[in-house]
Structure 1
Amino acid sequence: MSRTDGSANGTQPRDEKRTMLFACGGTAVGFLVCWWVGGAILWGFGIAVFLLMAYSWERIIRLSRAVSESDARSRTAEERFRRVESRLNALFQHQPGAVGLIDPGGCFLQWNPAAERMFGYREEELRGKHLRTLFPEESSGRTNNFFTEALHGSSLSFKTSLLHKDGYRVDLDTTVVPVQEQGITTGVLIVCQDITSATRTEEQIRHLAYYDDMTGLPNRRLFVQHLNAAMTAASRHERKLAVLFVDIDRFKIVNDCFGHDYGDMLLLQVAERFSRCVGPDDYLARTEGDEFAFFFQVPDQTAEPVGTIAKAIFDLLEEPFVLGQNLVHLTASIGMSLLSQEDESADSLMKCADMALTRAKEKGKNNYQLFNSEMKSVSLKRLTLESELRRALAKNELLLHYQPQINIATGRIVGFEALVRWQHPERGLVAPGEFIPFAEDSGLIVPIGEWALKEACRQNKQWQDAGLEVVPVSVNLSIRQFMQHQLCARIGRTLQETALDPGLLELEITESCTMDVDYASDLLHELKKLGVKISIDDFGTGYSSLSYLKKFPIDKLKIDRSFVRDIMTDPNDAAIVASIIAMTRHLNMEVIAEGVENEEQLRFLHDNECHLIQGFYLSPPLAVPDAERLMKLYSAQAAAGEESPPLN
């Protein structure tokens, strides 16, 4: 049988190829080629079945794998969602700031633990409660407005305050964020940070910037702001306005003598009293030190209404102030200015009041002055005086004159008082009354006093080296010098530098220096250890108690010229002078009368056994050459046994 002849067996010839297509699920598997070889068809079919099964399983596996991967992805997404949800919940629960979820009606749905701690309410206490439950009236309206804006899709940040469950205020930095689902706002997330501490700090800083820390009154800066506003209102409504500067007289002495704590206590009491005369349209501030400022609405621009105000202020100071065990009487100087022009500024109005205050001080204090145009020229002179006085210190224009102190019983010079003079390059010799009070007010008295001390010691040493009279020279210590730190060390250093015997230096202090008894006693004993002499100047005009004199190492009392002047016409002055002389004799002190200007005064003092005399009747203050001639004359006449010459 030939290869081409196999039809009877149902087979195709070997060289006749048949192709069969097997499919699975409509998908072609491939082609199967059969040869007329025994068993070849079965083999080919087996291969086809195998290929078909392999292909089907591959699809099943792929499908199964796809389903598995889909399930895995679904499980992963769910797990991821759960993790995200857990993280978000943890973030919500552990967020340090307060976080709350609020429904569109403004009621709380959820509240994190930080919010519970911050505001004192547990979550279940607030759930279903409206926003206004927490926010006080002054901030609830504003907070509701922001909440409404958040419901309309806006995210906002603002500062507000909320009431803690215990009733106190909590200041907040707040953010509201809309919660949206498919573009619809379903609630509002509110996030709050507690800024109470920062707010309090800001308030403290503002208070320090605009208020006096000690009295609690507004300071100069805030006073100017309110004065500007009051001036604008006064001009608009045609009202009259008065500005007053009030300065406590001699407060520096009280502060130095009793100490700063008592000084602060005194200012607090003054501030409290001044507050009594301030109405709703008026204003009071402490501008600096012992200076207070007012502005008042007044009916007109005459002196009468401001005079009434000044009297009310003086009346407030009538009653003495209690400082520990001490009663202190105060007076005040007041300067006033009136708003007169619409274009005036607060600064110019205050400057005018300040110039008037300066004038009140110059007139002896305890009075008030209303500003006038003449005061501007006076203030200009004061500025010029200060500038020239500073220049005088730098260029050695100051000099000392020496007024002799005479023992009328022996006719001998027993000392000199060094008195400061100013040799002005253009005006000539300037009287001390023209610049010493200003130097005391401005503080220039301290460097002037230090210069005078050193110059007096140097001059006295020079006289000794020249073989002239060996007598002490007295130098005045101002209250400001007396309160200077390390005064004793400075004086000791001056004595060392000039090589002057300490026993030939006499320090004169006023009674005002002894107001703080403990401080004065300690310092005076320190000075006595240096070997210097100490005298009380202007005795009888100050504040000290006679009982304190025995506590102080005082060598000499000087009877003030105000008592000596009228001893022949005023029995009271005569009695005071006689009593002082007798007292010093019992206390083993020396006494000297100053300001002796005629023979009757000299005779009275001699008859009452006051032999140490200083005054124009015997000699005016002398320049150095004249003082030297006087000492030589006295020395020569003493050596010859002659009487002292007349000095007037």
Structure 2
Amino acid sequence: MHMEKTFDEKYIKSISIYISLSFMLILFVVLFSDKLYGIFGEQNYTAVHLLSEIFTIIVAMSIAMQLWLTSRFKLINVDVYMGALFLSLAILAIFHTISYKGMPFFIIESSPYQATWFYIITRLLISVGLLCIVLMKAKSITTIHRNIVFLISMILTFAFICVIYLPDKVLPPLVIEGMGTTLLKNTMQYFSLGTQIVLIIILLKQFNLAPKRSLLFIAASIYIIISDIFFTTYRDVYDIYNFTGHLFQLFTYVAILKAVYYTTVEFPFISMIKANDHLESSRKEMHHMAYYDEITKLPNERFLIESINKSFTENLEQKTVLVLEFDRILAIKSSLGSFYSEQILKMAAERITEIVGEKYFVSKLRIDQFVIFIKSHKDKEEIMALCKQLQLSMSKPFHIQHFSLTGNLNIGIAHYPMDSTSSENLIKHAQFAMYEAGKVPERILSYESSMLNARTKRVELENDLYKALEEDQLFLQYQPQLNIQTGEINSMEALVRWNHPIKGWISPADFIPIAEESGLIIPFGRYVLETACKQTVELQKVINKPIKVAVNLSVGQLFQENFIDIIKEVIQETKIPPHQLELEITESMTMNTNYITPILKGLKEIGLTVAIDDFGTGYSSLSYLKDLPIDCLKIDRSFVQKISNKDDQEPLVDMIISMAQHLKLDVVAEGIETIEQLHYLNEKKCDFIQGYYISKPINIEDLSERFNEIEQFALETIQGMKMT
């Protein structure tokens, strides 16, 4: 749009210059008219008139031919009528020229009678014709319509020629020798001039619809008005005004030719170029969309597969595919949102590209993984060195706004042709290796055929998990939490279990990640929450005392749009007192404080308590802990297990307990397995403990039967510990 505006302004400036030069010419002619009288010589005026008319005829015929030829491809009534008009004008101008006084004999002797009538008809035709065409509403017509219009134009033109050439003059004379022009001639001349003024007014009103075309027609109208003024004021044929009138008449036709050329040739051609440019730009954009990742701007999976397949045809030497995944992308996307995960992907792409450079092909898969394709043979040591370099780069924090996010890079390796001769399988096998790499300390693994079986089992397990929900194969166990200060058990944690009818006991570490990846975690989490609340209410009736139950939440549950409403429904259905339900979240869920804080406040308003599970293993949440509406911190078992006797010093445990005390939060230590660990935590004023030393996780039926026994053992242990 800006380019068109600039072009129009340039064009207006060009037209303004032409008009300014024209008025300078007028001024010159007016000031020096006497001196310029008869300047061409008496014998030459017929030839001068002939030349000026020939140029006018050529331009008029050019307009007619231009519109006749172009109307074949775009049948618009305005163009057809304009073409027919100028064909008539060109023919009438020819007869005006050959009938001009001094021209050779043609049909009859040349005389002012014929010449003047041909002239005045052309003048009226161009004025009235252009006015009618400008007022005409543009619409499509047929080829037959076009031919009829041109045919009628020819018939009327030659009919008029015949009338003028009749031996008996049926038309009144417009010029009387010795007296000059008649009133009729001047009246028709001024009528033509007035029509042009009306035409200019209409064109000014329509200016915004077609600025350039309107500007040229306005210039043409101005020129023809000037021409009329000169033709009605000249003394005789030798007057410079007569020649100047013919000159401006030529200018009129040239301006109209430029307008016609612009509308029929230049504008469509420019539009076609712009359309082609736009098409080419769109093609490139579509190609980029089809072959490049929108976020990282790296080649996408389609481009990668085509590149791998092409390399197979070039040579058969060993090729290597590395699949890389930043292990915290999913957690960051779930907790902080897609903006942060996308920023990490961009930054990760930059780091990978910086290391790899132009040596290897770097690509991005649809799932948030990267691929490095090495098309030539590389030793195992070279590949491992590259993997280590990539891991070192990715281990540095990603600084995004006020967050500093870190994680691990898992890398899977597959080789052509040993692991596969198919590009799709080569990538898939490298992915399998990458999934398994997350389970080993180095986080780098090469593909082995056994991984395919492991992946197949994982898919089978996902299908079985659907059935487990439908067929009630899942159940809950509960691990009591001991209040170290009182020796009472007044809370417990609900833990989900799966006893597969064929495969037997399946670890939560195996099926919970599958539930999160497949989306089953939503119905899965609802089941755990409802069952835990319902069984806790039943347990309270049996043991005849209140007890709180803690239930773990997944990221998927917490970030459900109607999560608060779901909690209210569960509380209402199970009739558990809200303060006897505690929901556990992980540190990674607290990173997006703007999102998590309103949710936690909503839970607090219901009356629930909130705990942060596995505290100390997450990232970046310590500085926001004081602002979060939480009630409890749970110390991860990995810290507790480092305590081997009561005289040990475990600074992280000490720090968490001290920090919680300052923030007036309860502390629960997980994984207590020895009396020494219990002694240590008691001395540090820890509030609650849970672990095998007090009780393993047990079914609700066993807990109902053994609750008093477990609590009595715990009480005796605490009392005995305090006596020592």
| TM-score w.r.t. length of structure 1 | 0.66
CA contact (8 A) 1:469 1:631 kept: no
The alpha carbon displacement at 1:467 in A equals 6.1
Pair 1:90 & 2:167 matched: no
Q: Which moved more, 1:593-602 or 1:304-313?
A: 304-313
CA contact (8 A) 1:171 1:196 kept: no
Q: Identify the structure with bigger relative contact order (alpha carbons < 8 Å, sequence gap 6+).
A: 2
CA contact (8 A) 2:654 2:684 kept: yes
Between the aligned partners of 1:343 and 1:538, the Cα distance in structure 2 is 41
CA contact (8 A) 2:414 2:446 kept: yes
Secondary structure of the corresponding residue to residue 532 of structure 2: helix
From 214, 218, 225, the equivalent of 2:295 is: 214
Letter in 2 for 1:219: N
Alpha-carbon distance change, 321 to 450 in structure 1, aligned in 2, over 3 angstroms: same
Alpha-carbon distance change, 575 to 299 in structure 1, aligned in 2, over 3 angstroms: same
Pair 1:601 & 2:578 matched: no
Letter in 1 for 2:414: S
Between the aligned partners of 2:658 and 2:418, the Cα distance in structure 1 is 63
From 547, 567, 591, the equivalent of 1:515 is: 591
The alpha carbon displacement at 1:408 in A equals 3.4
Between the aligned partners of 2:65 and 2:340, the Cα distance in structure 1 is 62
Letter in 1 for 2:66: N
Deviations 1:435-456 (A, max 9, x none): 2344344443343222211211
Letter in 2 for 1:263: S
The alpha carbon displacement at 1:486 in A equals 2.5
Deviations 1:88-119 (A, max 9, x none): 4125678999xxxxxxxxxxxxxxxxxxx9xx
Between the aligned partners of 2:322 and 2:648, the Cα distance in structure 1 is 39
Q: Runs of at least 4 residues of structure 1 off by over 4 A?
A: 81-87, 91-97, 170-174, 569-573, 632-635, 642-646
Alpha-carbon distance change, 544 to 602 in structure 1, aligned in 2, over 3 angstroms: same
CA contact (8 A) 2:299 2:362 kept: yes
From 698, 706, 720, the equivalent of 1:622 is: 698
**Match of residue 308 from structure 1:** 385
**Match of residue 250 from structure 1:** 328
The alpha carbon displacement at 1:523 in A equals 1.6
Between the aligned partners of 1:226 and 1:480, the Cα distance in structure 2 is 37
Pair 1:418 & 2:499 matched: no
- Paired residues for 1:233-632 under 5 Å: 233-235=314-316, 239-278=317-356, 280=358, 282-300=360-378, 303-340=380-417, 344-363=421-440, 367-466=443-542, 468-568=544-644, 574-631=650-707
Letter in 1 for 2:277: T
The alpha carbon displacement at 1:171 in A equals 13
The alpha carbon displacement at 1:257 in A equals 3.4
Alpha-carbon distance change, 571 to 530 in structure 1, aligned in 2, over 3 angstroms: same
Between the aligned partners of 2:393 and 2:611, the Cα distance in structure 1 is 37
Between the aligned partners of 2:648 and 2:291, the Cα distance in structure 1 is 53
Between the aligned partners of 1:392 and 1:204, the Cα distance in structure 2 is 47
CA contact (8 A) 2:299 2:363 kept: yes
CA contact (8 A) 2:646 2:677 kept: no
Deviations 1:34-87 (A, max 9, x none): xxxxxxxxxxxxxxxxxxxxxxxxxxxxxxxxxxxxxxxxxxxxxxx9999755
Structure with greater strand percent: 1
Letter in 2 for 1:210: Y
Between the aligned partners of 2:617 and 2:420, the Cα distance in structure 1 is 48
Alpha-carbon distance change, 210 to 405 in structure 1, aligned in 2, over 3 angstroms: same
Between the aligned partners of 1:171 and 1:287, the Cα distance in structure 2 is 44
Percent of pairs identical after alignment? 35
The alpha carbon displacement at 1:230 in A equals 1.3
The alpha carbon displacement at 1:389 in A equals 1.6
The alpha carbon displacement at 1:384 in A equals 1.6
The alpha carbon displacement at 1:420 in A equals 0.6
- The count of aligned residue pairs is 471
The alpha carbon displacement at 1:223 in A equals 1.0
Point out the structure with max Rg over C-alpha: 1
Alpha-carbon distance change, 256 to 570 in structure 1, aligned in 2, over 3 angstroms: farther
The alpha carbon displacement at 1:634 in A equals 6.7
Deviations 1:488-536 (A, max 9, x none): 2221222122222111110011111111122222221111111111111
Question: Pairwise CA RMSD of aligned residues?
Answer: 3.4
Alpha-carbon distance change, 82 to 561 in structure 1, aligned in 2, over 3 angstroms: closer
Structure with greater helix percent: 2
CA contact (8 A) 1:534 1:555 kept: yes
Between the aligned partners of 1:546 and 1:572, the Cα distance in structure 2 is 25
CA contact (8 A) 2:419 2:447 kept: no
Q: Which runs of 5+ in 1 are unaligned?
A: 1-80, 98-116, 118-169, 175-190
- Paired residues for 1:160-179 under 5 Å: none
Between the aligned partners of 1:192 and 1:91, the Cα distance in structure 2 is 24
